[in-house]
Amino acid sequence: MHPTDFTLAGAVAALAEGAISAEELTRAHVDAVEALNPRINAFITTTPEQAMEAARASDAKRARGEAGPLEGIPLAIKDLFCTAGVQTTAGSRILGGFVPPYESTVTANLKRDGAVFLGKANLDEFAMGSSNLTSAYGGVANPWSRRNDPEVRLVPGGSSGGSAAAVAARMALGATGTDTGGSIRQPAAFCGIAGIKPTYGRCSRFGIVAFASSLDQAGPFGRTVEDCAILLRSMAGFDPKDSTSADRPVPDFAAACTRSVKGLRIGVPKEYRLDGTPPEIERLWRQGLDWLRDAGAEIVDITLPHTKYALPTYYIVAPAEASSNLARYDGVRFGLRVAEAGFDLRDLYERTRAAGFGQEVRRRIMIGTYVLSAGYYDAYYLKAQKVRALIARDFTQAFAGVDAIVTPATPSAAFAEGENSDDPIQMYLNDVFTVTANLAGLPGLAVPAGLDPQGLPLGLQVIGRPFDEETVFAVGAALERAADFKALPSTRAGA
């Protein structure tokens, strides 16, 4: 087996058995990044020398009997996580050249457990987007292509598109992402891999460049549900540096992947049956429910009546929080500074932000500033927060009668670059199945489960109770076993 063909779980086992060294495993992935990144643009910054040095250190630790649970595993890190000594850009010109002196808690946890970092993965600027085309460092190409039109470049989804593309193309064994309204689950579905947004508070937000603080949550990408479970156990945990971090024990998520779903009640929300949804999405959803029924689960119709307000609520709350968080980028302390003789402070702010922020970020800052303004705060932001509470209550009531909820992950397969780009509303609709979990703070897992007529991957989503990722992983693993999804993208290491 070529080293890039391992799953993360398989690589952990092979390293433990001595079948491969961390240096060999990392070299194969460094070579894959070097070969494929010019085409896919999954990485903004690559760190091959640091990766190989870390891999040799991992082999030495293993020889001393000190190996951590991720010892020698090469990962991609979304360029929203601060990494000490390595440039962190958030996909924006305004942070170009910013090298943090500190490490985010999530990446520190991964390093503690022995992970090797290959570099910083591309993303939509400040995590704002559903296509990974808003990055100041160029768009990311999905490694998948349409059967009848293989030359058309497809988007990998966003905002964590670089992370998802790197894992799908066999450039990394796993990756970190962040999910504010679907930014892990949508790219995972578009790229034919697994990805989970855990419960809000499960992973620390310390050292993650903020977009919308009450919605942002870190999570992993993997080639399998088990890979995500292994990564999440290392990423998660209480952090006193983050006031929203939950002080709860971190279970063995991988063990949950072997649980039976027999006797579980699976909810099917009628509000997720939307007009205009492609028939292949509906068919896959029905097939997924049949698979769970065959595995012994009970399928239950439920209602989430305020779902229809989720997208407008999200696109008030998220820009409002973004406008506050991004006010710190002013050209004074770090990042880009546009200054000339004769500029006053206002000139510095205006010119720096105009040059540093892209169109989508400026759009959301303006929307957020508007809804927080004195004349409109009550009419928009306060009302949106009230609706958000109703959306969360819908889930609480639904989970009184079901153990998990299964829905489509996205309303379509990956679309081509340029499609929807002139219509931001159409682009925002890509989050229609995912934003509710963020608004309610719930865990959501995307599982690859089938192909559309053009041979592109489609995913199913599992939503669970707060801090019940174990049930989410059990249901996701059951869907994964039944789907037996083995299709691979045409652009990948070893192809």
Active site residues per annotation? 78, 159, 183
Neighbours of 127 (CB within 10 A): 30
Q: Contact, 487 vs 454, CB < 8 A?
A: no
Sequence-separated (6 or more) residues with CB below 8 Å from residue 270: 301, 302, 303
CA distance 363 to 358: 9
Closest CA to 120 of 48, 13, 45, 230: 45
Kindly report the backbone phi and psi dihedral angles of residue 448, in degrees, each rounded to the nearest multiple of 5, phi listed first.
-70, 130
The DSSP call for residue 419 is T
Q: Three-state DSSP class for 69?
A: coil
Closest CA to 478 of 279, 291, 244: 291
CA distance 274 to 308: 10
Kindly report the backbone phi and psi dihedral angles of residue 428, in degrees, each rounded to the nearest multiple of 5, phi listed first.
-65, -25
At 178, the amino acid letter reads T
**Half-sphere exposure of residue 362, counting CA atoms within 13 Å on the CB side?**
12
Terminus-to-terminus CA distance in the chain, angstroms? 13
**Half-sphere exposure of residue 395, counting CA atoms within 13 Å on the CB side?**
24
CA distance 275 to 308: 12
Q: Contact, 22 vs 55, CB < 8 A?
A: yes
The first and second tokens of residue 425, run together, are 């509303």
At 359, the amino acid letter reads Q
Q: Contact, 414 vs 142, CB < 8 A?
A: yes
CA distance 21 to 35: 21
CA 335, 180, 248, 11 torsion-angle sign: negative
